[in-house]
Amino acid sequence: MDPINPLAIDVTTEGTSATVVVRGEIDLATQAEFRAVLSDLVVSGQVNLTIDLSGVEFIDSTGLGALIGARRRVHAFNGSLCLREPSDPVMKVFTVTGLNRVFDIQEADVEEKSSAAS
């Protein structure tokens, strides 16, 4: 990851759906960019979001706040927000905070994780 910009975001859209692939760190320094991308998607009509967190190494409370805000916005438009394959450190944060019970989280299968590690 680039030390100057520790966050990379790639977006693909189709109709009212968007997949957001995030790599790096979602923290105080990067959350504004992340929040803006999610907000712009909802404003432009993509209210069914899938956010791939497999490449996120770290998330802090401001990053969690951005996700909670995005969840509220998409639900206001009868949309959905799904978190795909959060990395182990990120999943631990969701579990400790209880947000694993709030968000729709698709974890990688155990077989996928072991084959990816090989």
Q: Which helix (H) or strand (E) holds 34?
A: helix 31-43
For the chain, give the mean pLDDT.
Answer: 91
Q: Is residue 80 part of a domain?
A: yes
Structure tokens belonging to residue 110: 């155990």
Structure tokens belonging to residue 108: 């990688």
What is the domain-level CATH number for residue 24? 3.30.750.24
Beta strands in the chain (DSSP E): 7-14, 17-26, 48-59, 80-84, 104-106
Q: Is residue 25 part of a domain?
A: yes
Assess whether pLDDT exceeds 90 at residue 108: no
The sign one gets for the Cα dihedral 88, 83, 25, 114 is positive
Q: Is residue 2 part of a domain?
A: no
The sign one gets for the Cα dihedral 12, 57, 34, 7 is negative
Q: Is residue 1 part of a domain?
A: no
Query: Whole domain around residue 42: which residue ranges?
Result: 7-117
Return the closest-CA partner of residue 70 out of 101, 102, 29, 108: 102
* pLDDT (average), residues 37-55: 97
pLDDT at 6: 85
51-100 pLDDT tens trace: 999 999 999 999 999 999 999 999 999 999 999 999 999 999 999 999 99
Q: Is residue 91 part of a domain?
A: yes
Count of structural domains within the chain? 1
Q: Is residue 97 part of a domain?
A: yes
